[in-house]
Each structure stands twice: as structure tokens, then as C-alpha cells.
Amino acid sequence: MKKTIRLTESDLHRVVKESVKRILREGGHLYGHYDDGTPFTNSKDMWHGVPGTTFIYHGEWSDPEVWYDNEEINGSELEEYMWEEYKIECQEEGKSASEQEYDNLPMEWFQEKLNDYMYFRFGQQ
């Protein structure tokens, strides 16, 4: 006996996305290639050099992704969070926030803040 199941477009999108993520995870290849098929090869694929991260750029018309600890993070939202954290630290130290200084912060700073972000967003560290 067949049953008809109705899905909205967003339901279908979610089902496909979660299925693909599960398959890639089980295969041990969590997004191992760029959209054009070229494989990730070196540290330039890491987000701010943080080990265990993968930065995926989809072009200027789509937000980038950051993969970390088997979670997909919107790269634009993550950068906004980091910038706000940096501005708070600057304010506490009585100095002005500088994009140049932010871009040159050590990988350890980004790693610490990323772990905080993961804890608050996903309940993990």
C-alpha cells in the first residue's frame, strides 16, 4: 500500500541537505572538494588557519561556509561574531578596532573564539 507524503520545498531541501551531509560524514569525506571538483589541498582551505576547519567559498553571490567539528557554519555570520568579539576586546583595552589588526590576529585567538561560538551555538566544544 503506497502512501502519499506531501513536502514543502523547504522540507525537501532540508531532507536532501541532511542526507548528503550524513553520507559525506559516513564516507569520511566531509566536503572534500570545492564546487568545481578540485580537492582541498592545504592550509589555505582552513578558516583563519585554525586546524580542523574547512573554509568553502561559493562565489560572491552566496555566503561562504566554515565546517568545524562536523557542523556547517555560515561564514558571514561567523565573521560578524568574531568582529564583534574583537571590538569588545578593543573597547575593554581602550583602543580602536582596526581591520588590519583583526586580519593579523593569531590563529589561537580565532580558535579560542570559534570554540566559544561552537559552545554557545551548538552546545559543544
* 78 located within any domain: yes
Q: Sheet with 53-56: list strands edge to edge.
A: 53-56, 65-68, 71-74
Q: With 60 as the cut, is the pLDDT of residue 121 above it? A: yes
Residue 43: pLDDT band by 50, 70, 90 thresholds?
A: very low
Greater model confidence, 26 or 107: 107
Distance from first CA to last CA of the chain, Å, rounded? 46
Note whether residue 3 is domain-resident. Answer: no
Q: Looking at residue 49, what is its pLDDT?
A: 86
Q: Which residues contact 27 (CB under 8 A, 6 or more apart)?
A: none
CA–CA gap between residue 68 and residue 116 (Å, rounded):
13
Residue 85 domain flag: yes
Whether 1 maps to a domain, the answer reads no
Residue 72 lies in a domain: yes
| Total-model pTM | 0.62
| pLDDT > 90? residue 54 | no
Per the structure, the complete domain to which residue 98 belongs is given by 9-122
Residue 45 belongs to some domain of the structure: yes
Domain count, the chain: 1
Residue among 48, 40, 54, 52 at smallest CA distance from 83? 48
Residue 28: predicted pLDDT: 41
